[in-house]
C-alpha cells in the first residue's frame, strides 16, 4: 500500500471515531419522558393557598411551616394575604365599566357625569387599599 492510501484510511478511521464519540456523547444528553416530566413538575409555579379571613381573631393555622426544633421554615408554599376577588365580582365590575364606556360613546351620559364617575372609581381605588389594611389590622 502506498503512503497516500494509508493516509486516506487513517483519516477515514479518525473521522468515523470522532463521529461515533459525538453520537455517544449526544445520546448521553437525551432525557427520558419520565425525566422530562419530573423536570417540568419542578419548574411549575406553585399553587396559591387561600385562607379564610379571621376578622381580627388569631388564625387557627399558621401560614408558616415549622422545623422540628420550632423555627419557622420558609420552604413551604406561601398563602394569600387576603381573600381574592371572585369571578362573579370581577365580571360585575367589568360589566359596570363597559356599560359606562358604552354610555359615553353613545352620548347618553354627559361628559361631566362620566368624569364624576371616573373620579369616584379612582377615589375608590386609592382608598380601598388603606380601608382593607385597616380591616385586616382590626
Higher per-residue confidence, 64 vs 108? 108
Helical residues (DSSP H) of 30-110, grouped into ranges: 33-43, 87-106
Percentage of the chain modeled with pLDDT above 90? 6
Between 54 and 36, residue with greater pLDDT: 36
β-pairing, 72-73 with 65-66?
A: antiparallel
Nearest to 50 by CA among 58, 41, 39, 61: 61
Q: Confirm if 78 and 63 have CB atoms less than 8 A apart.
A: yes
What distance in Å separates the CA atoms of residue 54 and residue 59, rounded to the nearest whole number? 6
Confidence of residue 50 (pLDDT cuts 50, 70, 90): confident
The whole-model pTM stands at 0.33
Q: Are 31 and 39 in contact (CB under 8 A)?
A: yes
Whether residue 64 is predicted with pLDDT greater than 80 in this model: the reply is no
The pLDDT tens digits of the residues spanning 99-122 come to: 888 888 888 888 888 888 888 888
- Residue 13's pLDDT band (cuts 50, 70, 90): very high
Using one digit for the tens of pLDDT, what is the confidence trace for 14-31?
Answer: 999 999 888 877 776 677
Q: In this predicted structure, what is the pLDDT of residue 57?
A: 61
Question: 369616584: which residue's cell?
Answer: 120
Per the DSSP assignment, residues forming a β-bridge with 49 are 79
CA distance 70 to 121: 46
Q: How far apart are CA 100 and CA 105, in angstroms?
A: 9
Residues whose CB is less than 8 angstroms from the CB of residue 138 and which lie 6 or more positions away in sequence, other chains included = 55, 56
pLDDT of residue 16: 93
Separation between Cα atoms, residue 51 and residue 32, nearest integer Å: 39
pLDDT average, residue stretch 34-44: 82
Amino acid at each position: 500500500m502506498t503512503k497516500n492510501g494509508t493516509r486516506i484510511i487513517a483519516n477515514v478511521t479518525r473521522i468515523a471515531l470522532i463521529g461515533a464519540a459525538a453520537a455517544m456523547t449526544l445520546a448521553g444528553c437525551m432525557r427520558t419522558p419520565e425525566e422530562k416530566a419530573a423536570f417540568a413538575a419542578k419548574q411549575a409555579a406553585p399553587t396559591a393557598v387561600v385562607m379564610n379571613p379571621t376578622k381580627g381573631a388569631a388564625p387557627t393555622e399558621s401560614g408558616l411551616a415549622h422545623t422540628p426544633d420550632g423555627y419557622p421554615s420558609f420552604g413551604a408554599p406561601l398563602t394569600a394575604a387576603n381573600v381574592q376577588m371572585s369571578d362573579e365580582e370581577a365580571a360585575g365590575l367589568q360589566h359596570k365599566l363597559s356599560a359606562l364606556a358604552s354610555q359615553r360613546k353613545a352620548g347618553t351620559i354627559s361628559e361631566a357625569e362620566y368624569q364624576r364617575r371616573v373620579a369616584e372609581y379612582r377615589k375608590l381605588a386609592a382608598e380601598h387599599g388603606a380601608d382593607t389594611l385597616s380591616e385586616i389590622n382590626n
